[in-house]
Structure 1
Amino acid sequence: MLVNAGQTGQRWIPAKNVPEKNRILCFLAIQAMSNDNGKNPMPNDKDNDDLVFTAFKNMDLYGKDHNVLSGLLGMTTCSERSCEFQKFLQRLDTYPTAERESHLFEIGSLLTTNNCAFLDLATNQSGSHALRTLFRRSPALDHLIFLSVSMNFFSLMTNLARVETGCLALNEVFQEIRGKYRDLIFKRVAKNADWLSFDHYGTHVVQNFLTLENPGATAAIAERLCGCFFRLAKERQGSYVVEKCLKSCFAREIVLEEFRGNDQEWVRMANDKFGNFVAQCALKVMKEEGMTPLLREFIEKLRPYFCTMKIGYGKNIVRLIQEDIERCL
């Protein structure tokens, strides 16, 4: 439960400005939260006069606050009333500063009273747009919205990873965050590494994590990707994920074990447009790490296909083996 005006007994609490980086991340989070294209309507989208507070069952609101919240939700979550909400904010802009700030803080207090309510509001298409409209109108209001986003961050993170700007913002945060929250983020990314690695932007988040060389997180990501390495290797972005796993001492064995267990897929990967780069990486890593017996085993699996490989994507692998690796065996 967030601290709001009703709990403190004050109408408006001045708040320190939210740092610019946090403002940006907050805005991106709110934008990413609205991923349902209107398929997750709020209770007051229903065509009746009674507001059904199914999403707000934990809220303790009576009388004036209940009526105000009802009207506010009606304007923020119904697409037909978006113009009404805009006009409401325009009227507020004409108020004296202190009165305007007070009203904005009350709005923020009502919308962030309950975490579940805020999350439901933010994942509604119209509600998310309304929150973005409110953002940066008042330092105190920004503070309330930022706190709500922070408290729901781990629920939002995987959605953020699938948005280009969100992916960039998350990677920047990962470089700076320390302590228990860093570990929690590692666990969340590792848990979702399988589908993130196949996502156009999510793959960059996984790749960034692998370069951080966190033993537990790297091993967890590799374990989560078990059974996917051949398929990932044949995709442009996915191939980078596999290569980073191969170059990490915390994930390498898991990848090589999967490659070793399927001769047919190993040959197919070596002849694939993107997979051949992964195969080259695997051979180079085994050579550099002195894994000679295993290296010979992988080469012998390819040798019967050298003639056909020379006229396709596998030609670079044949050249690598004949001109570089075999000289050292």
Structure 2
Amino acid sequence: MAMSHNNPFSMPTLFDALERIRLSEETSARLIKLHNLMTSEECESQFRDIISNSKADDPEALPKLVSLLTSDSDHFMKIVRNEHGSKRVQKLLGISDDVDALLYAAILRRFLDIMTDKYASHVAIRAMLVFDTMEKFIMYNHVLYHGLDMARTQYGCIALNEVITDVGDPCYRKLLLDFVACNAVCLSNDPSGNFVVQHVLTLNDSVCTYNVAVGLFGHCVDLSFKKYGSYVVEKLLEAEESRDVVVVELLECEEDKLVRLARNEIGNFVVLKALKVTRGDRFDLFGDLVHKLKPIRDLLVRSHGSKIANFLEAY
């Protein structure tokens, strides 16, 4: 009677299993060598030689190398999270369509992990500059989808700011700025996210600046008590499009809360800045602010608000 190949202990099945183990071990060994090539400081010249030789002698060599590089997502992440690995993967971008296609797929598979890592994020940002329009747009869509998660991490907020700065398409630029404005409250209250709001306020986009201010109206006083939030509010005070929104909120603030803000070690800077920026061309708002602060001046003298008290003394 013939031995069934469905039997897990049959000779063909055992041979197949042994062959798979052998191939797996070979692949693991190749991945280890590749990891060393991509991440070791001593392998820089060897890496450059491989790129040069593949262009001249063997056009298929580099796609094969990148195919192995991107064959395992976890292995790929280990390489791009390494400083040298990130730089070398960036050098692979734009060499050929085949290489770009492999790297594009690998980046999308772990997009959020890559965009929130100190070194890996540079690979994706570089890719958005190198890839063709359609691939760029798909990556921009991923940025919009993962934007909040990116913005609220130490390195993700930096990556998001770079994308916003570099995006060349007017439509996607507007979408990204609108995204920040719509989420301004959440981001401004976050230790990392506030840097994204601050960043868009430095781009001199009047519509975005106004939209951020409107989105934060009713929250500016509370933000002014926080170190990172106060930076956002001060930037709003620096722009004509948003200054009045902040000042109006200060004018509508209850006296007790305004006293606490003006005496606060952080908040006093916001109040003082509001006085200084309105003193010039918005004398109506300046007068209203002085009128509101004058009755509480004596409460500010022996506090962090002493500079406000000194300022008010002249009016």
Query: TM-score if structure 2 supplies the norm length?
Result: 0.61
When Rg is computed on C-alpha atoms for both structures, the one with the higher figure is 2
Gaps of 5+ in 1: 1-84, 112-126
Aligned-residue offset at 1:208: 1.1
Shift, 1:152, TM fit: 1.6
Q: Is the Cα contact below 8 Å between 2:263 and 2:300 reproduced in 1?
A: yes
Which amino acid counterpart does residue 286 of structure 2 have in structure 1? L
Match of 2:194 among 183, 203, 206: 203
Q: Is the 8 A contact 1:164 1:201 kept in 2?
A: yes
Q: 1:132 aligns with which of 67, 77, 83?
A: 77
Contact 2:297 2:312 in 1 (8 A): no
Cα 1:272–1:92, aligned 2, differ >3 Å: closer, same or farther? closer
Asked if structure 2 preserves the Cα contact closer than 8 Å seen for 1:207 and 1:240, the reply is yes
2: distance between equivalents of 1:169 and 1:309? Answer: 41
Partner of 1:176: 166
Inter-partner Cα distance in structure 2 for 1:234 and 1:294: 22
- For 2:279 and 2:26, how far apart are their aligned partners in 1? 68
* Partner-residue secondary structure (3-state), 1:142: helix
Residue 191 (structure 1) aligned with residue 182 (structure 2):
yes
**1:218 Cα deviation from its structure 2 partner:** 1.0
Residues 175 and 244 of structure 1, relative CA distance in 2, 3 Å threshold: same
1:268 aligns with 2:268: no
Q: How many residues align?
A: 221
What is the match of residue 208 of structure 2?
A: 217
Q: Distance in 2 between matches of 1:103 and 1:226?
A: 54
Q: Distance in 2 between matches of 1:232 and 1:170?
A: 22
Aligned 1:1-329 pairs, distance under 5 A: 89-92=28-31, 102=64, 105=67, 129=74, 131-133=76-78, 135=80, 139=92, 140=99, 141-146=102-107, 149=111, 150=139, 151-178=141-168, 179-264=170-255, 265-289=257-281, 291-323=282-314, 326=315
The change in CA–CA distance for 1:88 and 1:192 in structure 2 (over 3 A counts) is farther
Could you list the runs of 5+ residues in structure 2 that have no partner in the other structure?
A: 1-23, 35-57, 93-98, 112-138
Q: TM-score, normalised by structure 1?
A: 0.58
Give the C-alpha shift of residue 313 in structure 1: 1.1
Q: What is the Cα deviation at residue 131 of structure 1?
A: 4.9
Query: Which stretch of structure 1 is more off in the superposition, 166-175 or 271-280?
Result: 166-175
Alignment CA distance shift 1:321-1:209 (3 Å): same
Instruction: Label 1:107 to 1:294 Cα distance change in 2 as closer, same or farther (>3 A).
Output: closer
CA–CA distance in 2 between the matches of 1:302 and 1:271? Answer: 12
